[in-house]
Amino acid sequence: MAEELAVYIVDDDPAVRDSLSLLLSLRGYRTATFATAEDFLAALRPEWKGCLIADIRMPGMDGLALQRELLRRGVRLPVVIVTAHGDVASARAAFKADAVDFLEKPFDEEGPVAAVEAAFRRERERASEEERTQDREGLLARLTDREREVMLLLAEGLHNVEVAERLAISPRTVEVHKARIMAKLGARNLAQLIRVVHRAP
């Protein structure tokens, strides 16, 4: 996934854009720069992964408004806010909208690098969780409706006889369904089965 990650820099100051891009490029990061939030949103693609570094004060849409717009669109790209006019209210708003970091200009070299690394860690964790969710959904999709009913009752802690009574079927039929469920989900025991159920969306 590393080669897919990029740092998207949005700042109306060309000197800041260029210096951040150069700093991060020298550290091995792929970068793309934008002069306005509107330019970034116009170029934004669903497949983009990495993080966004956005200045708070820009003509038109500011960095906090951009952050809110991404949340509204369901874009989960981690955001790092930078500003030359830091204040508690702005920092609080940024973190409330789930910013990774809030950097005040002028910053040293390590500040942006550490923030990007933290953002990339978050992005990798999110990608891994999405992959696990897709795997679980794929497994659960293989179950029949009846198998899903049996699985959910077993996960609640009901015994075979209780499941049979609840579904008006025989305990032997429950046992057959249970064996098929375990095989389809790759669960070796009931504990693993419960883990799959409770991690499922």
Side chain identity, residue 199? R
**Domain locations along the chain:** 2-133, 142-199
Whole-prediction pTM value? 0.65
Question: How many other C-beta atoms are found inside a 10 Å radius of the C-beta of residue 67?
Answer: 25
Provide the Cα torsion 16, 127, 45, 119; round to 10°. -10
Helix/strand/coil for 32: strand
Instruction: Indicate the helix (H) or strand (E) that contains 36.
Output: none
Helix/strand/coil for 73: helix
Question: For residue 3, what pLDDT band results from cuts at 50, 70 and 90?
Answer: low
Residue 138 has pLDDT above 80, yes or no: no
Query: May I ask the CATH architecture of the domain 142-199?
Result: Orthogonal Bundle (1.10)
Question: For residue 199, what pLDDT band results from cuts at 50, 70 and 90?
Answer: low
Lowest-confidence range among 63-67, 103-107, 110-114, 176-180?
103-107
> For residue 134, what pLDDT is reported?
67
| C-alpha closest to that of 119 among 30, 4, 34, 7 | 7
CATH superfamily of 2-133: Response regulator (3.40.50.2300)
Helix/strand/coil for 142: coil
Question: For residue 2, what pLDDT band results from cuts at 50, 70 and 90?
Answer: very low
Helix/strand/coil for 140: helix
